[in-house]
Amino acid sequence: MDATPFYNDNGTWNLLFTKLDPNATIPTRATAQSAGMDLTACCDDVTIEPGARMLIPTGLSMAMPPGYEAQIRPRSGLALKHGITVLNSPGTVDADYRGPVGVILINHGTEPFAVKSGDRIAQMVLNKIEAPRRVIQVPELPSTERGQGGFGSTGV
């Protein structure tokens, strides 16, 4: 696909979606300043038991301009109230992927969690990706004040 359908004359760009299921919901922002767009389930009703994980379909495929990615992130309310989160958080949808978008949910809670079609299950945040011009192997890395200190070495 040519990049042309993504870009508008004013320099803005478009995110394209195809409904794979007529009941799918195109993602929207809850408010004008929301960073993420809500993704909704598009499936038969399912229950995720405590400790279990499940791939939940959205009924959508998408396309974005080269140089962008969509990150699939948990919804804070589901995490706080039910212990439901996105297992591979953040999940990444690459700009060249055109398959179905699904969300891997895991139930860290103590009760079974029901997912119904139309439920908001995750949020999607779009990011511009910067790729290095080259990847270079060197015999030694430049030094820094921190050096190899990690995992709490700069404080709690």
Task: Indicate the pLDDT class of residue 4, thresholds 50, 70 and 90.
Answer: low
**What CATH fold (topology level) applies to the domain 15-128?**
Deoxyuridine 5'-Triphosphate Nucleotidohydrolase; Chain A (2.70.40)
CB 81 within 8 A of CB 107: no
Whole-prediction pTM: 0.86
Cα–Cα distance between 111 and 100 in angstroms, integer? 29
**Band (1; pLDDT cuts 50, 70, 90):** very low
- Placement of tokens 């011009």 in the chain: 133
Please give the order of strands across the beta sheet that includes 16-19: 16-19, 53-63, 101-107, 84-86
User: Interior CA angle at 48 toward 43 and 51, to 5°?
Assistant: 150
- The predicted structure's pLDDT at residue 146: 82
pLDDT at residue 155, as a whole number: 67
State pLDDT tens for residues 7-46: 888 988 999 999 999 999 999 999 999 999 999 999 999 9
pLDDT, tens digit, 9 for 90 and up, residues 87-130: 999 999 999 999 999 999 999 999 999 999 999 999 999 999 99
